[in-house]
Copies of this chain bind each other. A is one copy, B any other.
Amino acid sequence: MTPPFDLDAAVTAAAASARLLAFAPTAVKDDALTRMAAGLEADREGLLEANRLDLDAGKRAGLSAPLLDRLALTGGRIDQMAEGLRQIVALPDPVGSISHHTVRPNGLEIARVRVPIGVVGIIYESRPNVTADAAGLCLKAGNAVVLRGGSEAIHSNRAIARILASAVAAAGLPAAAVTFVDDPDRALVARLLKMDDRVDLIIPRGGAGLIRFVTETSTIPVIKHDKGLCHTYVDRYVDLEMAARVALNAKAQRPATCNATETLLVHVAIAEPFFARFAPAARTAAIRLHGCKRSCTLLAPVMGELLVAAQPADWDTEWLSLDCSVRIVDSLDEALAHIAAHGSRHSEAILTRDYDRARRFLREVDAAAVYVNASTRFTDGFEFGLGAEIGISTNKLHARGPMGLEELTTAKYTIQGSGQLRA
């Protein structure tokens, strides 16, 4: 019989490993990542078997088909995890880079150097690939990671984490650099969130309930990956064909993601010709529109039963589906006020050909990503050119928007002198 999981000892070991990992050479970390990828590929059968236990339990527990799909590992998904780790090898190591260097009048040389954060706790639900992605990114940035996945994926996550930790050890680094919380007891999450003496950052990834619980409980700094209630505003001066294409892509290209548009704001002056282009495409894509009174009048002839009257709560609803709220506004100001009142400060777009309106929107909208004439769906570490991302931060502090390797580091000042005294 295996002994019960000891959270306290595990986190202490992770913190000790972080001190060594902080100055591990890039080549050694890359070797660990390469071994992690190879290890996942080599134990494909074991991973699928562990996953089958989770899937069987999920079916017995009555998980929905989409949840079971998120939970499922396949040969292809295992390949993707391995490929993701190899992509991290190819990314530059942020540790040790200098963002600021100055020589002071008294001769002190002051540099601001990127260093790892220390121990990063990831608290996530469902998708087992997060185990590999998060561990890989944390390791490359020189951090130890404490992984706490959902209980529904515990067999899969355990099997993945075990492979990753042995790969880390095989590369000569402490295995505790990848620490898996191997106990589904929910009370452990609350305990982990209070270990601010050993854990430096908590990243929750999951539903609103998880995010709220973590924010309210944690004494450790939290970087949230919260909801995206994103808007696309179609301005009165606009290329209508482009606007219809972009609005459709922003809503429907992958509606379950946080950067998909949930509400379309349309300037009254072009509502009719815009809907004439957008509505038929929306109908074909099976998008269900929740329209304000004025837009319903215009949309009813085309949309039929794919149109319903918007309820007040709809403006604050993250659909994550092929539903879309639609509101006609009388001005850019009204659009900006709607976004300020209902947006989640994630991704917001204006479609316009007017220079001043584009500029106002870029300046005045408070969000992680503000777009002119492009789909909100681009808010993503790969699309932004940051390489892999550990998530999309809806925090304002430390990291905002796609969070890559650099955001998994912090800085320290080094000061080199020759006996300087403060006067």
List the interface of chain A (C-beta within 8 A of B).
19, 22-23, 102, 104, 108, 110, 115, 117-118, 196, 200-201, 215-216, 219, 221-223, 239, 242, 245-246, 249, 253-254, 340, 358, 362-364, 366-375, 377-379, 383-385, 395-398, 400-402, 410-422
Contact = CB atoms under 8 A, between A and B. Distances in A.
Instruction: Give this chain's copy count.
Output: 2
A374 B22 contact: no
Contact of A117 (B219, B372, B397, B419): B397
A422 B383 contact: yes
Nearest to A223: B397
A366 B246 CA distance: 47
Contacts of A412: 366-370, 400-401
22 contacts: A102-B385, A104-B384, A115-B366, A200-B396, A201-B397, A215-B219, A221-B221, A221-B222, A223-B397, A246-B420, A373-B418, A374-B420, A375-B420, A378-B420, A378-B422, A397-B397, A397-B398, A400-B410, A400-B412, A400-B413, A401-B412, A401-B413
A419 B245 contact: yes
Contacts of A385: 102, 104, 110
Contacts of A401: 411-413
A19 B340 CA distance: 9
A398 B369 CA distance: 19
A395 B196 CA distance: 11
A100 to B, nearest CB: 9
A142 B205 CA distance: 31
A401 B99 CA distance: 15
A378 B410 contact: no
A372 to B, nearest CB: 5
A402 B102 CA distance: 15
A23 B396 contact: no
Contacts of A253: 421-422
A395 to B, nearest CB: 7
A254 to B, nearest CB: 8
A374 B413 CA distance: 13
B366 A396 contact: no
A370 B400 contact: no
A257 to B, nearest CB: 10
Nearest to A20: B364
Q: Which of A358, A368, A401, A422 has the most CB of B within 10 A?
A: A422
Nearest to A364: B23
A370 B414 contact: yes
